[in-house]
Structure 1
């Protein structure tokens, strides 16, 4: 027997956790496997639904790790293309859930639907599941906030928070710190001349969503160790006339050469907007203040990154 849920699970956030926890608890009760059937790439990218601007909260590898960390035994990734998108709900349930993966129980979030026949209600989808021998289980929405201001947690709401620079709200909805990972590449080394060398990141997943331009207190990880850091996302207007965004991190109390190595950051708090300073000296003076702010925000007992 297999207890499963389907969906893209971008961000694997607290709203998803409610569904995944139910999958795992039912699997444990019934002595079954806990599984997730997910897709790649994102349907919006394939179906060209604002694909040029759409960005992801998690790479495929991040998603796999998060799902397994929540107790999911098996993560099945199906290729999403236009032919796949044409399947009806019944075709998808029968071909993949029932015949291929042996799903006996399907756990679904409050608004989850699948198949090309999207005009149907979730109740109708559940009836189709029953008709092919799958028991459906519905999980209610997960809400964030206090009684005065409450938000149903969703990937869209988290993207909005990140794009607005509200890292703390995004992290609360995610249930963990939002992060970026990539390889350290050569920069102009201007920061080194003013006492603030930076690690410039080229992302492993180019479609990862970047938080709003600005300076952030972050946890950084290099060579298996965690460090406090300050990250600038933006166009570096003080030292460059280019419009291309960069991701630069000054790692506190760190002097190793890590060019070409993997590097990870997790965002804790937004410190300020990105500014154009009149001189490198003014920039340096502000960076000193940013460093002190980061030291105040980030505890001395360094935290392990995901």
Structure 2
């Protein structure tokens, strides 16, 4: 945000409505950005730097739901490291001027890479595009960094962000999701840049419920850092597959219906998967 302005959130669906008319040119960061991990932060910060240097608006374009939900015809809704509301909050803190959220459905899934560039980048007066080295777009993911350069030639410049790794393992949402799902939350900060965090709503004395589509850590007991409206403390919690979280030793935490933040520090007696490097 520039000068304390509030981030503008713009929802788009295909076909794009005709009244879309950006006030000025922008730098656009492209990606799904689940987790907004270290590599995502590098990409978004680069876009912010270009926007400041070129005196352009700083924009981000993401999609919802995850493309896999539609392309793979998944019956169950996907779980996320950062549900949309949380992702919006992170982008706002990072100084984004406009956040474009494109509804991912069958219409957008069948859009050619060329038409995507015309409808969603050129039309929005994008002058610089910032994307990861492995960014894919368009029908069946046929578009990539090279096609982005060709299809945007004369309209915008493409900035490719290189791969970031930790101990030879690519920093990605996929790796973080694996770590969280298997309970290895103590390794997550090496990839995410912080401890994994989910929000819970208090439903009874020491029981909280995860109402949003967060990816849950593996069931079990964890050491956590808990943030309420008026206090922060460390405590052991048990999480269940149902989405319930029980604070083990402090029954009087927050009020019923209050939202509480749980930071997952370490699972008790967990062991390291062979496929992931040790911290």
**TM-score normalised by length of structure 2:** 0.81
Residues 1:231 and 2:237 are matched in the alignment: yes
State the 1:94 CA deviation: 1.2
The number of residues matched between the two structures is: 246
CA deviations 1:51-108 (Å, max 9, x no partner) are: 5384210111111111222232221111111111111112111112221x32111011
CA distance, structure 1, for counterparts of residue 102 and residue 109 of structure 2? 11
- Out of 252, 257, 271, which is 1:255 matched to? 252
Q: For 1:169 and 1:80, how far apart are their aligned partners in 2?
A: 31
Task: Give the structure 2 partner of residue 165 of structure 1.
Answer: 183
- Secondary structure of the residue that 1:228 maps to in structure 2? strand
Structure 2 equivalent of residue 118 of structure 1:
141
The verdict on how the C-alpha distance between 1:57 and 1:257 changes in structure 2, with shifts beyond 3 A counting, is: closer
What are the residue-to-residue correspondences of 1:1-306 with 2, within 5 Å? 1-48=25-72, 50=74, 52=76, 54-99=78-123, 101-116=124-139, 118-130=141-153, 133-145=155-167, 150-186=168-204, 199-205=206-212, 207-234=213-240, 244=242, 246-250=244-248, 252=250, 255-256=252-253, 258-272=255-269
* Range with greater deviation from structure 2 (40-49 or 109-118): 40-49
| Distance in 2 of aligned mates of 1:164 and 1:37 | 30
State the Cα distance separating 1:122 from its structure 2 match. 2.8
Q: Deviations over 1:159-180 (max 9, x none)?
A: 0111121112112211122111
Cα separation, 1, equivalents of 2:81 and 2:161: 22
Partner-residue secondary structure (3-state), 2:151: helix
Q: Label 1:164 to 1:257 Cα distance change in 2 as closer, same or farther (>3 A).
A: closer
Q: Shift in Å at residue 256 of structure 1?
A: 5.0
Q: 1:270 to 1:256 in 2, by over 3 A?
A: closer
Q: Any gaps of 5 or more consecutive residues in structure 1?
A: 187-197, 236-243, 274-306
Q: Closer, same or farther in 2 for the Cα pair 1:263/1:256, shift >3 Å? A: closer
Q: Alignment partner of 2:76: what SS?
A: coil
Counterpart contact for 1:89–1:117, Cα < 8 Å: no
- Partners of 1:228 and 1:251 within 8 A in 2: no
- Partner SS state of residue 187, structure 2: helix
After the TM superposition, which segments of 4 or more aligned residues of structure 1 sit over 3 Å from their partners?
A: 48-54
Q: Secondary structure at the match of 1:36?
A: strand
Q: Which runs of 5+ in 2 are unaligned?
A: 1-24, 271-279
223 and 124 in structure 1: CA distance in 2 versus 1, 3 angstrom threshold: closer
TM-score (norm 1): 0.74
Q: Which has the larger radius of gyration?
A: 1
